[in-house]
């Protein structure tokens, strides 16, 4: 039986980030992935690197990760584009809350600035008139997530990590069993996102479906990742379905349009009623988009843990099984910090940020 220090199950952005960091730390790593690299939620994601200030633990992890992303700005296949984030206030009430947000972000070192109505239209002339203003976070960026997953995997493989294209059928005392009846021995780190319950049913995980639409090429129409300030209500609320204005300029000149959130839909089929809701929301903010051509619509599933924070650490009642999964819509942003948090704990080191909020034990306890 082949033996490794760490067997990482899943080669999405979380699994590949773990493989990259673990191999960098000198661990002998195996990665098991039967599908395309970064082919799950990673491929469906927008790839917006963003700090959300609504939850302190989430902000700490995002901020830690955003710093780590700075090492990857020059890698071509990641398509790193520091376009900045522009949060748009649709009402005076939303505008009035911006200073609090700026203060919360500033407390961890993220610089954001208040934008009045006039400045808003200078930054984004295509926005609908009548908006109150917004918040500009200049250093945030967009990336191409499957490109990042492949880059991280390539680095890990260059350091000797091995990729197995099988499926893990079971976690055993020694390691994992694969679907070709072979086994691998070592510590196991499960990073399978929405598929987590197949291997770790004790950790609650729900799949939250999202839709995205990408247009043909219209370079220069928008310049920043644009979100409504009400986005957090959609992202953090628990409604069965919700939509929010969330639009991104791709380096190709294409415009990527989100976002929807939906529980209870298990097929990857596109829901036209959901697309209509999402686009109507988009047209409220960017009426010029009506006349653009859409090329493709796709769906994906965000892995949502019991409380919305990822599970990062050792699985309770297992000495040798670890987990990194459940990042909902922030997995691209927080991938690099998540990997360090888990691997540092595996190595018995103190993590760079407080690891307790992400301890999987919290979820097992509440089941």
Partner 1 sequence: MAKRYDIVIVGAGPAGLAAAEAALAQGARVAWLDAQSAAGGQVWRKDIRYGWPRQAARVITEVVNHPHATWMPQTQVIAAEQNALLLQNEREGWRITYGSLILATGARELLLPFPGWTLPGITGAGGLQALVKQGWPLDGRRVVIAGSGPLLLAAAVTAKRHGAHVLGIYEQASDAAVHGFARKLWRWPGKALQAAVLRSQLAGIPYHCGSIVTRALGEHALERIEIDGPHGTQRIECDQLAIGYGLVPNVELAQMLGCAMKQEGAHPCVDVDTSQRTSVTNIYAAGELCGIGGRDCAWLEGRIAGLVAAGADIDASLLRQQRHARTFAAALREHFKLDPYIHDLAQPDTLICRCEDVPLQALKDYDDARSAKLATRCGMGACQGRICGTALAELGLFPRSGQRPPLFPARLASLGELASSSETEGSFS
Q: Is position 37 an interface residue for partner 1 (rule: CB under 8 A)?
A: yes
Residues 6 or more apart whose Cβ sits within 8 Å of residue 152: 13, 16, 17, 19, 20
For partner 1, the binding residues in 195-254 under the rule CB under 8 A are 213, 215-216
Q: Is position 129 an interface residue for partner 1 (rule: CB under 8 A)?
A: yes
User: Phi and psi dihedrals of 190, rounded to 5?
Assistant: -95, 120
Strands (E), 91-190: 113-116, 133-137, 141-142, 162-164, 168-171, 175-178, 183-190
Task: Report the C-alpha gap between 60 and 65 in whole angstroms.
Answer: 9
Q: Is position 283 an interface residue for partner 1 (rule: CB under 8 A)?
A: yes
Based on CB atoms, which residue is closest to partner 1, 138 or 272? Answer: 272
Based on CB atoms, which residue is closest to partner 1, 92 or 317? Answer: 92
Task: Report the C-alpha gap between 86 and 282 in whole angstroms.
Answer: 15
Question: Pick from 14, 38, 30: which is nearest to 156 by CA?
Answer: 30
Question: Pick from 104, 114, 16: which is nearest to 62 by CA?
Answer: 104
Q: How far is the CB of 147 from partner 1 (least distance, A)?
A: 8
Task: Report the C-alpha gap between 6 and 346 in whole angstroms.
Answer: 9
Q: Is position 147 an interface residue for partner 1 (rule: CB under 8 A)?
A: yes
CB 205 within 8 A of CB 326: yes
Q: Is position 34 an interface residue for partner 1 (rule: CB under 8 A)?
A: no
Based on CB atoms, which residue is closest to partner 1, 147 or 193? Answer: 147
Based on CB atoms, which residue is closest to partner 1, 131 or 306? Answer: 131
Q: Is position 121 an interface residue for partner 1 (rule: CB under 8 A)?
A: no
Based on CB atoms, which residue is closest to partner 1, 59 or 98? Answer: 98
Task: Report the C-alpha gap between 308 and 137 in whole angstroms.
Answer: 24
Q: Is position 277 an interface residue for partner 1 (rule: CB under 8 A)?
A: yes
Instruction: Out of 108, 126, 270, 352, point to the residue binding partner 1 (CB under 8 A).
Output: 270
Stretch touching partner 1 by CB under 8 A, among 47-55, 104-112, 291-299, 327-335: 291-299
Based on CB atoms, which residue is closest to partner 1, 15 or 147? Answer: 147
Based on CB atoms, which residue is closest to partner 1, 67 or 287? Answer: 287
Q: Is position 279 an interface residue for partner 1 (rule: CB under 8 A)?
A: yes
CB 45 within 8 A of CB 331: yes
Q: How far is the CB of 279 from partner 1 (least distance, A)?
A: 3
Q: Is position 128 an interface residue for partner 1 (rule: CB under 8 A)?
A: yes
Stretch touching partner 1 by CB under 8 A, among 174-182, 276-284, 327-335, 338-346: 276-284
Give how many residues touch partner 1 by CB under 8 A.
Answer: 44
Q: Is position 122 an interface residue for partner 1 (rule: CB under 8 A)?
A: no
Task: Report the C-alpha gap between 44 and 139 in whole angstroms.
Answer: 23
Q: By CB under 8 A, name the binding residues for partner 1.
A: 36-39, 43, 77, 90-91, 128-132, 146-147, 150, 213, 215-216, 257, 270, 272-273, 275-284, 287, 289-298
């Amino acid at each position: 039986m082949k033996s490794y220090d760490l067997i990482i199950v899943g080669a999405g952005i979380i699994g590949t980030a773990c493989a990259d960091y673990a191999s960098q730390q000198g661990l002998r790593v195996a990665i098991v992935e039967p599908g395309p690299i970064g082919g799950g939620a990673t491929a469906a994601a927008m790839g917006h690197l963003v700090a959300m200030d609504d939850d302190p633990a989430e902000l700490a992890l995002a901020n830690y990760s955003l710093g780590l992303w700075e090492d990857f700005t020059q890698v071509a296949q990641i398509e790193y584009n520091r376009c900045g984030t522009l949060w748009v206030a649709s009402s005076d009430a939303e505008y009035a809350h911006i200073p609090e947000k700026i203060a919360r972000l500033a407390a961890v070192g993220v610089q954001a600035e208040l934008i009045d109505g006039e400045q808003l239209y200078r930054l984004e002339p295509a926005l609908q008139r009548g908006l109150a203003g917004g918040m500009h976070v200049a250093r945030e960026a967009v990336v191409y997530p499957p490109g990042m997953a492949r880059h991280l995997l390539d680095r890990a493989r260059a350091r000797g990590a091995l990729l197995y294209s099988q499926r893990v059928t079971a976690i055993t005392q020694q390691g994992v069993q694969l679907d070709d009846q072979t086994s691998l021995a070592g510590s196991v780190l499960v990073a399978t996102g929405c598929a987590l319950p197949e291997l770790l049913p004790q950790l609650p995980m729900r799949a939250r479906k999202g839709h995205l639409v990408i247009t043909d090429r219209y370079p220069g129409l928008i310049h920043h990742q644009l979100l409504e300030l009400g986005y957090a209500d959609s992202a953090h609320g628990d409604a069965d379905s919700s939509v929010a204005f969330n639009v991104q300029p791709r380096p190709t000149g294409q415009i990527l349009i989100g976002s929807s959130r939906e529980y209870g839909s298990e097929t990857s089929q596109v829901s036209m009623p959901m697309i209509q809701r999402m686009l109507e929301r988009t047209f409220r903010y960017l009426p010029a988009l009506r006349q653009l051509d859409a090329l493709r619509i796709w769906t994906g599933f965000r892995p949502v843990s019991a409380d919305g924070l990822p599970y990062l650490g050792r699985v309770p009642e297992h000495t040798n099984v670890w987990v990194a999964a459940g990042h909902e819509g922030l997995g691209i942003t927080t991938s690099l910090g998540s990997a360090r948090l888990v691997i540092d704990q595996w190595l018995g080191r103190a993590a760079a940020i407080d690891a307790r909020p992400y301890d999987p034990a919290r979820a097992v306890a509440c089941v």
